[in-house]
Structure 1
Amino acid sequence: MALLVFIAVCYFKFCSHSSSNEGTVCYYIANNYVFICAFIFVLFLLFNLFNIRTFIADHWPLIFAVTTGLLVVAVYLHHFYDNPISSDPEKWGPFGDYIGGILNPTFTFVMLYLVWQTLVVQQEGLKKQREAQERLEKDLQHQKFEDRFFKLLELYRQKFIDGNQITKIHGQLNTEYLQSKQPGETVTELNCYKTIIERKCRSSNGEFPRPVLIDYFGFLFIILRFLEKSSPDAETKEDYADLLRRLLSMEEKTLLHYHCEYLTEKEQEAEAKEFRDLVEKFLLRKLGDWHQTLG
C-alpha cells in the first residue's frame, strides 16, 4: 500500500511541474502530498485498529451511497466554487438535473441490492428454520423411540431375567434330555434341544405347553417388531438391535434358535414366519450358522 502511495505521489509531483496543470487535481495533490500521505496513514491505522474492515463489509451499500453523493457535490463545487449562488430558480434546474441524474441511478442500484440481500437473508433464515425444525422432529422421534424401547427392555428384565426363568427352563430341558436320551446318543446342545423341543416340550397339537416360554417368545416378538417398525433410521435400528443381542444369554439364544428352527407346519403362519425372520435379522443372524455353532 505504501508503495502505491509513493508511486502516485511521484506521478502527481511530475505532473505538477507543468504550468498548464496549475489548478488541476494533479497540481493540488502534488502540493499537498504530505497531508494526503498522513491522512492515508491514519486511515490505515484506523482500518486495522478499530476493525473498520468489518464495519465496511457490513455497511458498504450505505458507505457507497454516501460517498457517491459527497463525490458528486465535491466535483460540482470543484468546477463551480467561484461562481456565486444564483437566486434565479431557472438556474437551479440544471443543478438538480445533474444531482438527480447521477444519484438516482446510484441509489436505485443500492436499493435493488439491499432488496436482493433481504430476500437472500430471508431464504437463508427459512432454510435454517426448516433444518432446525427437521432436527427437532428427528430428535423427538428418536427420544420417543428410545423411551419406549427401554421401557420394553425393563419389562422384559423384570418378567424373565430377574427371576432366572429362562435359566431354570434351560436346566429343566437338559435334565429331561439326559433322562430320555437313547443309549449311545452323543450329549450335545444340538441333540438336547432338538430332542426336547420335538418330543417333550410340545403337546399333541404341536404347541408349547410351557406358559413361561410362550410369554417369553411373545414378549420378545413385541420388542423385535417394535424395533423393526418404529426405528427412526437404519443406524438406530442396528445400534439397538446390537444392544438387545448383547443382553441375551447363551441359554436364551439357544432356545430362540430351536424354537425358530423346529416350528411345526401349523406354526408356520405369517406371524410365526415374521418372528423367525426378525430373530434371524436382529439376534441370531443366520440360523444355519448358529446351528453349526451349537452342533
Structure 2
Amino acid sequence: MFGLVRSNWFVLAAALLAATLLMLALGYTVLDYYLSHAEGLGGFDGPQDPAKLGTLGDFFGGLLNPVFGFLSVVGLLVAVVLQREQLQQVKREAQASARAAENQAFENTFFQLLRLHQEILNSVELSDHEGLFRGRAAIHRLYGESFSDYDLLERCQNWDEREEFLAWLNDYYEDNYIRFGHLVEHYYQSIENIASFVHRRAIRNKAFYARLLRGQFSQYELLMMFFHALRDEAFGLKESIEELSLFEGLRPQNLPDYSLLALYEVRAYGIGLVKWSALRSDAASLLSAANIQRALKAASEMMESCQERLLSVRARKFDLAGAGQDHENESDEIARLEVEVGRLSRLHKALSKRRAEPEV
C-alpha cells in the first residue's frame, strides 16, 4: 500500500477527486429523478411533503456520509504517507552529507599521513664502510645485510612445520632488529598506523586508497615488510597487509623461497600473484623437482585460502543486500577473488603437470 502511494500519489489523488465528483453527479441525478417522478411529490412544482423530503434526506445522508468519511480517511492516509516519504528523503540526504563529510575528513588525514611517512622515510640513514645511505637506498642496504645469510636461505628452503618455522624466523629477525631496529622503528610504526587507519575505517572505495598506499613502497621495502610483519610485536600489521593486499607488487622471485608465500593469506598478494614469472606454465620447466614441490604446496594453500575468502565475502554481500545496505566493495572483491581463484587453479594444474613429468 505504502509503495503504491509513494510511486503513484498524483494518480491516486486524481482518482479520489474523480470518484468524489462522480458520486456527487450520481446523487444529484437520483435526487432530480426522485423529486420529479416520485409518487405524492409531483415534482418540484407540486406540493412538497416534509415527511417524505426528510426520509429522502436521511436516505442520501446514509448513503453519502460513509463514502465521504472513507474518502477523508484515504486523503489523511495519503498525506501521512507523503509526509513520511519526505522525512525519509531528508534523512537520506542528511546521511549522504554525513558520509561525504566523513570521507573528506578521512582523505585529509590519509594524505597527511602519507606525507608524514615520506618525511620519515627520507630521514632513515645507514652508514657503513661503503658510505652513507638515505631513504629507500638505506632500506635496500639493510635488506641485503640482514636477509642474505646462508642459514636463512637454507631454513627457508627446507621448512615444514609452519609454527616452528615462524618461531625460528621471529628469533632470526629479532637478532637482526637489535642491530638496525633503532634506524627504522619509527618507519615501521608509520606503516602500521597508516595501514591500520585504512583497514579499520568503513569507507567506500577502500581498494583505491589501498592502491595509493601500496604505491609508496619500493620492492625492497615490501621485502623488509614481509619479514617485519611476521614478528610477534608487529601489532596487527600482517592482518592489515592481507586485508589491503599490500603485497600485490611483491616479486616472489626476490624472496629466499617461493614456499614463504604461504605464510600470508592469498589476499595479501591481490592480483599480483599472476606475476609469478618463474611459476608460469611456460617457465615451469626451469624449476627443479624440489622447487616444484614447494611451489605446488604454496599454490595449494593459497587457492584454498582464496576460496574460503570468496565464500566469506559472498555471505557478507548477501547479508548487506538483505539489510538494504551498500555492498559495492564486496561486489568488487568477489569479482577480483573469482579471477584469482581461476588463475591459481591454472597455476596449480601447470605445476602438477610439471611434477608428474619424468626428470630428463
Higher relative contact order (CA 8 A, sep 6+): 1
One-letter amino acid of the counterpart of residue 208, structure 1: G
* Alignment-derived partner of residue 189 in structure 2: 218
> 1:160, 1:166 within 8 Å by CA — same for their partners in 2?
yes
Contact 2:35/2:44 (CA < 8 Å) preserved in 1?
yes
Counterpart of 1:76 in structure 2 is 31
User: Is 1:275 aligned to 2:237, yes or no?
Assistant: yes
1:195-225 per-residue CA deviation (whole Å, 9 max, x = no partner) reads x97777633xxx6232xx1221111111112
Given that residues 72 and 99 in structure 1 are in contact (C-alpha distance below 8 angstroms), is that contact kept between their aligned partners in structure 2?
A: yes
- Contact 2:195-2:241 at 8 Å conserved across structures: yes
Superimposed CA distance per residue, residues 152-200 of structure 1 (whole angstroms, 9 cap, x where no aligned partner): 11222344259994322035447868xx989xxx9xxx9xxx9x97777
Whole-angstrom distance in 1 between the partners of 2:149 and 2:81: 80
Encode CA deviations 1:228-269: one digit per residue, 9 max, x unaligned.
Answer: 22x124x644432232113311122122223335x4xxxx34
Distance change (3 Å), C-alpha of 1:71 and 1:200? closer
User: In 1, distance between residues paired with 2:207 and 2:144?
Assistant: 36
Q: Which runs of 4+ in 1 moved over 4 A?
A: 54-57, 85-91, 161-164, 174-177, 196-201, 283-286, 289-293
8 A contact 2:198–2:210 mirrored in 1: yes
Under a length normalisation based on structure 2, what TM-score does the superposition of the two structures give? 0.49
- Partners of 2:226 and 2:97 in 1: how far apart? 40
Aligned to 1:170: 139
Q: RMSD between aligned alpha carbons?
A: 4.1
Q: Does 1:62 align with 2:24?
A: no
TM-score by length of 1: 0.58
| Cα distance change, pair 86–57 in 1 and its aligned pair in 2 (3 A) | farther
Identity of aligned residues (%): 24
Matched residue pairs, number? 216
Contact 2:143–2:220 under 8 Å retained in 1: no
Which of 227, 234, 257 aligns to 2:226? It is: 257
SS in 1 for 2:45: coil
Task: Give the equivalent residue in structure 1 for 2:322.
Answer: none
**Distance of 2:14 and 2:123 partners within structure 1:** 69
How far apart in 2 are the matches of 1:168 and 1:293? 17
Amino acid at match of 1:221: E
State the partner residue of 2:121: 160
Which residue, 91, 100, 119 being the options, matches 1:139?
100
Answer whether contact 1:257 1:291 (CA < 8 A) is retained.
no
Within 5 Å, give how 1:101-250 maps onto structure 2.
101-160=62-121, 165-173=134-142, 202-203=178-179, 208-210=181-183, 213-229=184-200, 231-233=201-203, 236-250=205-219
Q: 1:181 to 1:290 in 2, by over 3 A?
A: closer
CA change 1:240–1:139 in 2 (3 A) is same
